[in-house]
Amino acid sequence: MFSSAHELAARAGSNLKEGAMQQSEEALRAELKELLVTTLRLEQVKPESIGDEDPLFSPDNSLNLDSLSALELLSAIEYRYDVRFGSDGSAKEHFRSIATLAAFVRSARG
């Protein structure tokens, strides 16, 4: 019986951790959207209107971001989250979407 109760408690703890990780992932994505809108002074854009998988730098994108926007956002992310983007050109891949930015920040923070 102890084994079953122990397993049940372990499973419940695991589910709580997964829920907390999912919550923190959602919170990080929401923070990044807010940071993008405020840093780039996009007054006409609501952070919640930006999709997690929407391409950030695309001719079809209504955000109208350019290379200067990328540099401003990169600096803001580095400062806010105390992370550094590599100088090997890989930063471009991280800026595909909010989801890829969140994945980078999460992995860079450890």
- Whether 84 is covered by a domain: the verdict is yes
What's the total number of domains in the chain?
1
| Predicted confidence pLDDT, tens digits, the chain (110 residues) | 444 444 544 554 444 444 445 559 999 999 999 999 999 999 999 999 999 999 998 888 788 899 999 999 999 999 999 999 988 888 889 999 999 999 999 999 87
CA dihedral over 57, 75, 32, 107, signed as positive or negative: positive
Enclosing domain of residue 79:
22-109
pLDDT of residue 7: 53
Contact present, 53 and 67 (Cβ < 8 Å): no
Q: Give residues with Cβ within 8 angstroms of 56, minimum separation 6.
A: 36, 63, 65, 95, 96, 97, 98, 101
Q: What is the CATH number of the domain that holds 94?
A: 1.10.1200.10
pTM of the model: 0.77
**40 within domain boundaries:** yes
Position 99 in a domain:
yes
